[in-house]
Amino acid sequence: MIESHQKSYGLCSFMAGSLALCLVLSGGVAMAAAIEVFHADSLAGPMKALKGAFETRNPGAQVNLTTGRSQELAERILKGDVCDVFTPSAPAVIEKDLMTKTVAGTDRTGASWSVIFSANEMVVITTKGNPLGINKMSDLAKTGVRFARVTGEKDMATNRTIDFVKNVTALEGNPQLAQGIIAGAVTVPAKPHTVPETIRDVATGKADAGVVYYSAAVEAKKDVDSLRFPAEVNLSSQIRNAATIPSTAKEPATALSFVRFILSDEGRKILEATGQPPIVPPITRGEIPRELK
């Protein structure tokens, strides 16, 4: 998958002739550096695990994680914020935003390639021990069940939650319940409410159930229980995670090493264990570095 001994003249030139990057692409060892990684909220658990493993295997390297909504993180990159690796929860955020728009004050596009490396799915989470016995989506329509969900127009989990609820209630033979479940959520639609906040609501008892990404539920498994649904309704065919090295990267050598680690056998095992089934082989778009093909 990764050909570490191929010639790298093109990519080295693309990255402004960085000597460190050339060393990495020709099979050398990446120079120790600190990299800034922007990632979607849904990737919090996997990225923490990948960070720990990468730093252990690369003494001196440091991975600084910044979590948030994918589109808002992309906007920060286009404004010029330093970002060495960007991993949104939808490839379109890279392909339609960064690859088609220039960074403020420059003539450079935000990114020139992307690699889709893992998938995800939507799940229902409940208070630990599931005291209300919530076993299907339709149970969220029962009187007294407090349901929390993600809101905010820039958060892709907002529409994914709505589609997920509709899909599952239809599968269960109760499509008429979907609108009531969504409208009856304890969260305010007009106020942004994130995946971490939804998990916190359920973990602290402010809500009895919620809908979040599977990877987020896995990370919070000590505090909440989760209920999974069949692939035909859980949106797993639509939810994909991608990575790129934006043009605002300051440490492209270490950044590329980190992306290569994500795609490695060890990286895939970490993704699998943290609720992010890896996509093998990864799907690439744009001017992908040869070493990632």
Residue spans of alpha helices (H) in the chain: 9-14, 19-25, 44-57, 70-78, 91-92, 156-171, 178-183, 195-203, 214-219, 252-263, 265-273
Rounded to the nearest 10°, the torsion over CA 165, 166, 167, 168 is: 50
Determine the pLDDT at residue 71. 93
Of the chain, the percentage scoring pLDDT greater than 90 comes to 84
For residue 13, pLDDT over 60 is answered with no
Which tokens belong to 7? 């010639």
pLDDT over 50 at 281, yes or no: yes
Q: Whole-prediction pTM value? A: 0.78
Cα dihedral 119, 121, 127, 128 sign: negative
pLDDT at site 290: 79
Tokens at 186, concatenated: 């304890």
CB within 8 Å of 58: residues ≥ 6 apart: 30, 32, 254, 257
CA dihedral 129, 132, 135, 138 (to 10 degrees): -150
Q: How many residues does the chain have?
A: 293
Locate 148 and state its tokens.
Answer: 């929390």
Tens of pLDDT, residues 178-187: 999 999 999 9
SS3 annotation, 258-270: HHHHHHCHHHHHH
Q: What is the dihedral of CA 154, 288, 57, 265, to 10 degrees?
A: 90
C-alpha 118, offset from chain centre: 9
In this prediction, residue 292 carries a pLDDT of: 79
Domains of the chain, start order? 9-119+240-292 (3.40.190.10), 122-227 (3.40.190.10)
Q: What is the pLDDT of residues 94-131, one digit of tens each?
A: 999 999 999 999 999 999 999 999 999 999 999 999 99
Within 10 angstroms of residue 238's Cβ, the number of other Cβ atoms is 14
Q: What is the pLDDT of residues 127-174, one digit of tens each?
A: 999 999 999 999 999 999 999 999 998 899 999 999 999 999 999 999
